[in-house]
Structure formats: C-alpha cells, structure tokens
Structure 1
Amino acid sequence: MKITDIDIIVTCPGRNYVIVKISTDAGIYGWGDATLNGRELAVAETLEKHLKPLLLNKNPDNIEDIWQYIFRGTYWRGGPVLMTALAGIDMALWDIKGKVAGLPLYSLLGGKSRDKVLCYTHVYGKDFNSVKNEAEKHIKKGYKAIRIQVDIPGCEGTYGTNDSYSDKLPVQEIWEPSPYLQTIPELFKYLRKELGNEIELLHDVHERLTPVEAKILASQLEPYRLFFLEDPIRPEHKASFNVFRQTAKIPIAMGELYNTKWEAMQVMEKQLIDYIRCDLSHIGGITEAKKIANIAEIYNIKTAWHGPADISPISHLANVHLDLSIPNFGIQEQTEFFPPEVKDVFSNLPLFKDGYLTVSDKAGLGIEIDEEAACQYPYKRGYLPTSRRKDGSVQDW
C-alpha cells in the first residue's frame, strides 16, 4: 500500500480547523487534525509545500519511520508549527492503520485499560454566585469534575471567562496578579462551602504567575482540595517548579505548551508535576503522546491531555482512544463549546454519559469529514486574545 495523495482542508465551521486527509492506492484514507489556533495557515502551508512531497508513494503502515523522517529529517526540528503539521499526518496514518485492521484505534494501542474515561469541562462566571449556579447545572448533567474560572475585579477580560476569539486584531485584556491572588482562594473557599466536597474542582492559571506567586496561590488553595492546579507558571521555567513543589501540597498539571517529550522530561523525571497535559495535535500526534505517557508512568504521573474547542473533533477522539488504552490515565478535558456548525463537517465526537467519555467501536478514529460541507465554511482570520498589565507591559495570556 502506498500514499497517493494528501489533502489539506482549512475550514471554519465557527472556528478554524486544519484537516489532513491521507489517501492510499488501496482506496483507504485517514483523517488527522493539524489545527494551531491563530496560526492555521502557517501549518497548512508547511503541510502542502514542504511535507506532502516527501510522503507520496511511502507505505502508510510505517508510522514510526515516517514520524522520525519528518521530525529529524528537517534538521530545523520542533516548534509548534512543525509539530502540529506532523500531528495531522500521524493521526491520519493511525486512522488508516485502524481501518486496514478493521479495529478501533484503542485496540491497536494495546486494547482497553478501562471502559470509560473521567472528564471535566469548563465553568465560569462574572462573580462567585454565577459560577456556583453554572457549576450546579453541570453537576446535574452528571459531571464529577469541573474547571472553575471567574472574572477578576478591576481587570478587563479574564482568561477562561469569555470568548474573546477575534477575526480582526487580537482582543487586548488587562490583568494584574494582586487582585487575582486575592480572588481565587476566596472563590474556592466559597465553592467548597456551597457545593460540598464530592465534586472535583480544578483551576487554570494559564502560565500567568511568577514561581513565587504560584507558590503563594498553591499554598492558599490547599484547604479546598483541588483535583489539580493547571499551568501555574510559564513552560520555560521548568526548574522553577522546585520553588513551590517543596512546600505546596496540591497536585500540579502542566504541559499544553510543550511540543516534544524532551520538553516534558525535566518536570517528569524530577516528579515536579502530577499530571502531564500535552496537546496531541501540537506534539506530533498519537505516536509522541504514547511515548510521553509511557515516560510519565515510570514516575507515577498521570495524563490529562489538552481538550479545548480550538482543536477539532479528530483530536478529541484521539485523546479518548489513548485514554482508554494507557494505564496511567488521569482525567480528560472536554469542551462543551463547539460551534453548532461543527456538526455539519465532523461526523462524530466522544460520547458523554454521567461524567465519563467513551468512543464508538468504529475502525480507526471513528470519524468522517463532509468535505463539501467543509468547503461551505471558508477560512476566516482569527486570533486568540493578548494580555497586558495596567502599566502597558505585555502579560502572558
């Protein structure tokens, strides 16, 4: 069997997605996700102009060799654009392999280690009471775990509390650490009193704090039993995890901005985190994610793969297939914020029931793409927000 064609489809059913379709001379094709939010066309051009010519006539069964060839063969390796392009190819190849075998992807990864995977979704509000009300709605839906964000007083726009995706220039938000550090511990104190201890609560810092600030926040949140505190500091500050890891008794999750297993190694081998949160569509796909999960298992670290609305349903299905198969699965992020138009293009999403996710037993990833519908939603330039401090200096968003 040989690869005969690679199609790159850039579509915008409410959000921009980059889809990879790999076709073979056996009439079997596979789907992959190569979406990099805000830089979609950079990935699409990389696939079309640089990687597609390298893969024609190659055997799609040789996933590992193709992965190594693309990653190491460029010499200028790594980075989010190249690793996202590689992820799209990798997922499509695994989809083909599953279809050839007539088996769902999780079966090719070793079979099921569990029947269903615990998930969490996002809850936010303008104030404590609105957050509580939204949380109660999701608890009634069956969620066992929810990620909590709230507007910060005195700040203009807060990560996780509004949809600031823009098709013009990036929306600019204003943020300050002092009111944030005062607000978040009080929020979780309030929610534990109102919601009780049974529901699992999570919070995403989004890499906005210095190591010392993160240490203060983690210590203040200890009494409220968070499932984990996500991305407390920037990914470059791997050694700085020592600053608060030695004192704060709270589970830490990190990794959605890592692009390779080597970037994740230091925090894992020194056991500075409890959950690794890489994004399958930004680390080279299923092949690399499986290796990262294997490394994490050695250090008793669990997985919590990135699962936002800015990756397509293809990646969400890949997440759950991998979750079902690995022994050290922890929890899966699941978005409820897909635009309704997504269903016009993508045939399937993970199945939610009573706080858990599963997938169908269809061969491969178990998804089809309506290419004609995808063409009805052309690409629209889009940006994630940016953030600044009140003095005008740039702040991590």
Structure 2
Amino acid sequence: MSTIERAEVFVASPGRNFVTLRVTTSDGVTGLGDATLNGRELAVAAYLRDHVAPQLVGRDPARIEDTWQYLYRGAYWRRGPVTMTAIAAVDTALWDIKGKVAGLPVYQLLGGRSRDGVLVYSHASGTDVPALLDDVARFREAGYRAIRAQAAVPGSGSYGVRKGAIYEPASAAVPEEQLWSTEAYLDFAPTYLEAVRERFGFGFHLLHDVHHRLTPIEAARLGKRVEDCRLFWLEDPTPAENQESFRLIRQHTTTPIAVGEALTSIWDVGHLITEQLVDYVRTSVVHAGGITHLRRIFDLAALHQVRTGSHGATDLSPVTLAAAVHLDLAVPNFGIQEYMPHAPETAEVFRGGVRFADGMLHPPEVPGLGVEYDAEAAERFPYEPRSLPMARRLDGSVHDW
C-alpha cells in the first residue's frame, strides 16, 4: 500500500508571497496544495510544518475524507482561517495525487463536466472615472464577459484600484493606513457604475465590491440606488459577523448579494445559505478546507438556489486557481469565478495551470490538478513581510478595510 512519505512546506515570493505544500507518496507521486493566507502566511506555514506534516507521514493518501476528518475533528481547536487553510492545503494535495494515480483530471473524479468552461470576472479600476472607463474597455477588448468596477473615492479611499499591472493590496510589513468616508463613497460609487453602463451598455456582467464597509441600512440604500445598473452582484456589502443583518438588506433591494471570501467553513455560511440571505457564496478552496469541504458548501447552496462565486485574487496561488476551476466545472450551481492573472514571476515557480479563452477558464487535460512546483526556481524569490492595509475614518477611528 502506498503511504505518505513526506510533506514539505515552501514559502516564496514570486510576484507575491505564497505558501505551498508538497506531499510525496512512497510510490513517488507528488501532490500540491496552496496554503496562502494573505498577510498571515507564516502562521499557516508554521501550523503545517510543526503540527500537520508530522501527522501525515505513514497515512494512506487515498483516504482523503478520513484525512480531512482526522485533521478537523481530531483537533480540539477547530475552524478559523489558519486551521482551515492548512487543512485545505493537505486536502487539495491529496486530490492532486488521486487524480495522478487514476490518470484523470480532478474534475473527472468530481463527476465530470457540468459545463464547457468556467465564466470568470476580472478587476477594472481607475484613480478617476475616465481611467476606470478606459480600463473597462481594455477588459472588454480582452474578451471578458464579466468585469468588476472600482474607482478611487475622491479624497477618501482607493480600495480595489491597481497601482501597477497586477493588483496586490498587501504592501509593507506594517499595514498601510488608508482614509475612508462612507458618505463620500455612497455619493460617488453609483455615479461611476452608471457611467460604465452608459458607455458600454448591458452586454456584459458588471460587479462591484463594497468590501464590508457599510452598515446594513447603508448597504440597502446602495443596493436600491444601483438597481438600474443591473449588477451581477454587490459583494460583501456589510461585515458578515451578524448574518441576520443581510435580511434587512434583502428587504430593501433586489440587487444580488455575494458574500464569503473571508468565511472558512460550512458553519460560517450555513445560515446565509439556508435562509437565502445571499445569492452567491464566495468561499474558496484555500480558505474553506479544500475541495472536500468546499464541495459540501456548494452542495448545500444548490439546495437553496444559491450559486457559487469563489474568491480568486492573486493572493491565491495557481494551485488554488486550478483546484477551483476543476470544482467549478463539475458543480451544478456554478455562478462565476474571480480571476486575476498572476505576475510573470509566478509562472517561473508554478508550471502549468488553467487557460483563459473567450471569457472563460479551462483546466489542463492532464492527470491531477495540472500544476507543478519548481522549488529550485522558488529559491530566487525569498519571502517578503507584507500586510494588508487598514482603514481609518476621517475622524481617525478604525474602520473595516
């Protein structure tokens, strides 16, 4: 019987910081898992190296469900982003191994295709409205069928606005402090979403991210104001700790709501789904316990007419992106997949991966996930401490970033 021989943890920064788990079996088969938690990478790396990796040696790599339960139920301290990201890395690596042993792409092990490709959206942004409109035009010309639009609020806040070719909010080791005015945002955001529709029409999906920054009633007001823009979704309109608050938003607007990129388990999103308080669940492979657990979330969502819309920013490695596309391809209630192309340096370390064409992503038709890790190349890109920003209101008080 094949067993797990070793589990190695790699921390490198090819374009941005990534934590990667590589599991090797006694038969020489390797599997990859992403363990990146933006701004807290070393916490997950230590959790894997010091606590999880030693427990994997000698286990049967084919027993994916048993290993998931072993790492989750077998530990007294459960859930949370660090634990669930570590479990996700192991789970994804074992699915990669299973696909390679079976000689099949992972999506075939999940039931095969439910669709021909995976619809994606990317991020258009600008420091002002004309710059945003130019960026939307660029994405339309590139073939995107769905685009998220964000513009810097004059004098207050630049969330979602790229500083270069790749959007990466994590910067210095000490968090950058950014100003925020909810009043200015509520006045400004609808105007640029309306400007996008006025210039480009309704022949593509338009999305917008609030990033947890409004109270429920403020979010309801925004959702109602932009109904004529026919948004595909309004993302994270309010913090999700009080999930009943989404019921209030629901009572005031028909704009679809997407939530979940910062939530890590079925227990975190169960109420939102079963009460149909959201339209899209955005939990991801890497932060919600891997393919095994994310499939459970998506299956629950399917029962309640909630669709999927997994997080997919560049702080998720090509391993997670590939795993997400394999799952997206298989589940019946897929909605959309976030997609932000990685920096060129990333491709020097992560070989292979998904292919973008005609507004959709396609997985590689090879056994497993279709991504390999070049540990030697990774050594050229040492870890760099970086933190996500934080926000302060104009009066100096801390606000949700």
Residues 1:189 and 2:200 aligned together: no
- Which residue of structure 2 aligns with residue 292 of structure 1? 297
- Which residue of structure 2 aligns with residue 47 of structure 1? 48
Provide the rounded CA distance (Å) in 2 between the counterparts of 1:351 and 1:66. Answer: 31
SS of structure 2 residue aligned to 1:306 = coil
SS of structure 2 residue aligned to 1:266 = helix
Give the C-alpha shift of residue 380 in structure 1. Answer: 1.1
Provide the rounded CA distance (Å) in 2 between the counterparts of 1:394 and 1:164. Answer: 18
Give the C-alpha shift of residue 156 in structure 1. Answer: 4.5
**1:1-397 map, 5 Å:** 1-162=2-163, 163-336=168-341, 338-397=342-401
Give the C-alpha shift of residue 378 in structure 1. Answer: 1.2
Give the C-alpha shift of residue 161 in structure 1. Answer: 4.5
Give the C-alpha shift of residue 228 in structure 1. Answer: 0.6
RMSD of aligned residue pairs (Cα, Å): 1.0
- Check conservation: 2:5, 2:58, Cα contact below 8 A: yes
SS of structure 1 residue aligned to 2:324 = helix
- Check conservation: 1:229, 1:251, Cα contact below 8 A: yes
Deviations 1:83-134 (A, max 9, x none): 1011111100000000000000000000000110111000000111111111
Give the C-alpha shift of residue 167 in structure 1. Answer: 3.2
Partner amino acid, structure 1, of 2:242? H
Partner amino acid, structure 1, of 2:290? G
- Cα 1:53–1:341 change in 2 (3 A) is same
- Check conservation: 2:227, 2:255, Cα contact below 8 A: yes
Give the C-alpha shift of residue 300 in structure 1. Answer: 0.8
Partner amino acid, structure 2, of 1:299? H
Provide the rounded CA distance (Å) in 2 between the counterparts of 1:343 and 1:164. Answer: 20
Provide the rounded CA distance (Å) in 1 between the counterparts of 2:295 and 2:235. Answer: 21
Provide the rounded CA distance (Å) in 2 between the counterparts of 1:376 and 1:133. Answer: 35
Provide the rounded CA distance (Å) in 1 between the counterparts of 2:161 and 2:155. Answer: 16
For structure 1, the 5+ residue unaligned runs are: none
- Check conservation: 1:386, 1:396, Cα contact below 8 A: yes
Percent sequence identity over matched residues?
Answer: 46
Deviations 1:9-66 (A, max 9, x none): 0011120100000011111110110000111111011001111111110001000110
Provide the rounded CA distance (Å) in 1 between the counterparts of 2:31 and 2:301. Answer: 29
Provide the rounded CA distance (Å) in 1 between the counterparts of 2:398 and 2:238. Answer: 16
Provide the rounded CA distance (Å) in 1 between the counterparts of 2:169 and 2:178. Answer: 9
User: Where does structure 1 differ by over 3 angstroms across 4 or more consecutive aligned residues?
Assistant: 159-164
SS of structure 2 residue aligned to 1:308 = coil
Please give the TM-score of this superposition, normalised by the length of structure 2.
Answer: 0.97
- Cα 1:148–1:156 change in 2 (3 A) is closer
Deviations 1:164-208 (A, max 9, x none): 422331111001100100011111111111111112100000111
Partner amino acid, structure 2, of 1:335? M
Provide the rounded CA distance (Å) in 2 between the counterparts of 1:156 and 1:256. Answer: 21
Give the C-alpha shift of residue 252 in structure 1. Answer: 0.6
For structure 2, the 5+ residue unaligned runs are: none
- Check conservation: 1:21, 1:32, Cα contact below 8 A: yes
Provide the rounded CA distance (Å) in 2 between the counterparts of 1:282 and 1:138. Answer: 28
Give the C-alpha shift of residue 360 in structure 1. Answer: 1.2
- Check conservation: 2:127, 2:161, Cα contact below 8 A: no
SS of structure 2 residue aligned to 1:343 = helix
Provide the rounded CA distance (Å) in 2 between the counterparts of 1:251 and 1:107. Answer: 31
Provide the rounded CA distance (Å) in 1 between the counterparts of 2:215 and 2:284. Answer: 23
- Check conservation: 1:149, 1:161, Cα contact below 8 A: no
- Check conservation: 1:151, 1:161, Cα contact below 8 A: no
- Check conservation: 1:3, 1:60, Cα contact below 8 A: yes
Partner amino acid, structure 2, of 1:37? N
Provide the rounded CA distance (Å) in 2 between the counterparts of 1:27 and 1:244. Answer: 52
Provide the rounded CA distance (Å) in 2 between the counterparts of 1:231 and 1:348. Answer: 32
